[in-house]
Amino acid sequence: MNSKLYIETYGCQMNFSDSEIVGAILEHNKCTLIKDVEQADIILINTCSIRENAENRIFHRLENLRHLKKKNPLLIIGVIGCMAERMKDDLIAKEPIVNIIAGPDSYRDLPKMIEMVKVSGQAVETLLSEEETYGEIMPVRIDSNGVSAFISIMRGCENYCSYCVVPYTRGKERSRDPETIVNEATYLFNHGYKEITLLGQNVNSYHWECADGKMINFSSLIALVAKVSPTLRVRFSTSHPKDFSDELIDTIASYDNICNFIHLPMQSGSTAVLKKMNRKYTREWYLDRINAIKTRIPDCGLSTDIIAGFCGETEEDHQQTLSMMKEVGYDSAFMFKYSERPGTLAQRHFPNDVPEDVKSRRLEEIIDLQQQSSLENNKKDVGKVFEVLVEGETKRSDKQLFGCNSQNKVIIFDRAEIKAGDYVNVKVVDCTAATLMGEIVS
Ligand code: SAH
Ligand code: SF4
Ligand code: F3S
């Protein structure tokens, strides 16, 4: 008999993409994905360790699942992903309702692990691999809008930014065979998808040696995916400023369907802090890359990640972050307070010495400035016409549709005889800091 499987995902897009791989592996092994957790025979929680509060959220969730286990002692609960990798067996000691612990490179063994649980109650596997890319597995699409999808092109990270847990939870960096990537993109396009985001912790370091010795780097890969169809939009995330090459900027500029949007995490505007973070670039290098992007792709949307209150960050360092934000003028940003992670270089070598109230105040200043910058940039879009890929109805009203422009901005407009997956031209008539409002013009 088929088991009813419920997967819940936390963390980054790569985790969401992994859940779709897990779904595919288990659907091939007598499981059926369901959307109601109460009905499940197997619950898998795909977890994130990036900040302490990410882990706390998951502990709360596990507490909330205890009542289901009480109701059904045969229910199998698994913790998979980064937190499983970081905490290993300690997780079971902390949370005895957990039966399965599976790290990010152990997903092929999940069917076997489920069988083991049925015999012995528990199964733990957290060995990281140097080769696993799940390359040939065609993911099932979970909670998809049928318009945009994510394709994982590489796994792991070896940059060892001093604050970051990812190299420890995801292991060595490895790239996926480009043929399987292009096949997946083609398959998705043939099934109605119009937008693909290529995913990796540092997509610019993608590299693959073909059988004939030819090297494929990220610029060549993104061009191969863009050639699947001119009506397939291509995006990517995340790129590291240290490897953001002129070649990549030129490739983005030369394909209409590679979106004019770049997420380029700066983390800090101070060269001294960047050095301590082991980011391997300076403030000047970062600004040079931004200028190169603005010159070659004048209408490019820009977003970033910023950490407030890293070890030893002075008021002057913080001011440099604010001044860099002003200089770049980001359209949006993900902004975080520094959270010390066990085992990282920073935790081992630098005191976490910025007081909590100072961290909070700096983060607030960063958020306020970003809010102004987003609003200012959005105001500049009023009056412009953008091609929008329609994603569906807005949450608030079935009389309104929404979609994104190439610059990754959400635009809302009145419903018309169009459907999700269509392209329409929309003129922006109004805005907030978060959204553009428009009218269809064609
Ligand atoms: N690979 C990407 C980022 C992955 S993690 C890159 O290198 O840019 C996403 C973001 O979380 C990071 O960019 C960083 O801003 C933030 N982050 C990572 N570790 C953190 C920590 N210990 N505390 C606070 N924020 C952190
Ligand atoms: Fe973490 Fe740095 Fe790797 Fe990004 S590049 S995942 S921040 S170690
Ligand atoms: Fe979190 Fe792991 Fe992604 S730590 S951010 S789920 S790679």
Share of the chain above pLDDT 90, in %: 96
Q: Which fold has domain 262-380?
A: Transcription Regulator spoIIAA (3.30.750)
**pLDDT in the model for residue 215:** 96
**pLDDT in the model for residue 234:** 98
* 98: amino acid identity, one letter: V
Ligand 1 centre distance from Cα of residue 421 (Å): 32
User: Does the C-beta of 157 come closer than 6 Å to ligand 2?
Assistant: yes
Chain-centroid distance of CA 44 in Å reads: 19
The string of DSSP letters for 130-197 reads: SS---TT--PPPSS--SSEEEEE-EE------TT--HHHHH-S-EEPPHHHHHHHHHHHHHTT--EEE
How far is the C-alpha of 203 from the C-alpha of 217, rounded, in Å?
Answer: 9
Q: If pLDDT is split at 50, 70 and 90, which confidence band does 397 have?
A: confident
Ligand 3 centre distance from Cα of residue 294 (Å): 30
Residue-wise pLDDT for 140-166, tens only, equals 999 899 999 999 999 999 999 999 999
Which ligand number lies closest to the CA of residue 13?
3
How far is the C-alpha of 229 from the C-alpha of 237, rounded, in Å?
Answer: 20
Ligand 2 atom at minimum distance from 279 CA? 2
Mean of pLDDT values over 187-208: 97
Mean of pLDDT values over 368-382: 98
Kindly report whether the global pTM for this prediction surpasses the value 0.75: yes
Q: If pLDDT is split at 50, 70 and 90, which confidence band does 180 have?
A: very high
Q: Which fold has domain 385-441?
A: OB fold (Dihydrolipoamide Acetyltransferase, E2P) (2.40.50)
Ligand 2 centre distance from Cα of residue 438 (Å): 37
Ligand 3 centre distance from Cα of residue 159 (Å): 14
Ligand 1 centre distance from Cα of residue 358 (Å): 20
User: Does position 20 have pLDDT exceeding 80, yes or no?
Assistant: yes
The correct CATH number of 144-259 out of 3.30.750.210, 3.40.50.720, 3.30.465.10, 3.30.365.10 is 3.30.750.210
* CATH 3.30.750.210 segments of the chain: 144-259
User: Does the C-beta of 237 come closer than 6 Å to ligand 2?
Assistant: no
User: Does position 398 have pLDDT exceeding 90, yes or no?
Assistant: no
Q: Which of 101, 91, 37 has the alpha carbon at shortest distance from 69?
A: 37
User: Does position 371 have pLDDT exceeding 80, yes or no?
Assistant: yes
Phi, psi of 167 (to 5 degrees): -60, -30
CATH number of 3-125: 3.40.50.12160
Q: Name the closest-CA residue to atom 10, ligand 1.
A: 305
Q: Are strands 400-404 and 410-414 parallel, antiparallel or unpaired?
A: antiparallel
**pLDDT in the model for residue 150:** 96
Ligand 3: lining residues by beta carbon, under 6 Å = 11-12, 14-15, 48-50, 81-82, 165-166, 169-170
CA distances from 339 to 14, 153, 157, 313, 349 (A): 21, 28, 19, 13, 15
User: Does position 332 have pLDDT exceeding 80, yes or no?
Assistant: yes
* CATH 3.30.750.200 segments of the chain: 262-380
Ligand 1 centre distance from Cα of residue 307 (Å): 8
Residue-wise pLDDT for 36-95, tens only, equals 999 999 999 999 999 999 999 999 999 999 999 999 999 999 999 999 999 998 898 889
* CATH 2.40.50.140 segments of the chain: 385-441
**pLDDT in the model for residue 211:** 92
**pLDDT in the model for residue 202:** 94
Coil, helix or strand at residue 91: helix
Return the best residue to mutate from 51, 159, 203, 310 for the ligand 2 pocket (most ligand atoms within 8 A of CB).
Answer: 159
How far is the C-alpha of 60 from the C-alpha of 57, rounded, in Å?
Answer: 5
Q: Are strands 76-81 and 154-155 parallel, antiparallel or unpaired?
A: unpaired
Q: If pLDDT is split at 50, 70 and 90, which confidence band does 396 have?
A: confident
Q: Which of 76, 84, 77 has the alpha carbon at shortest distance from 126?
A: 84
Ligand 1: lining residues by beta carbon, under 6 Å = 50-51, 163-164, 201-202, 238, 240, 265, 267, 305, 307, 336, 338-339, 341
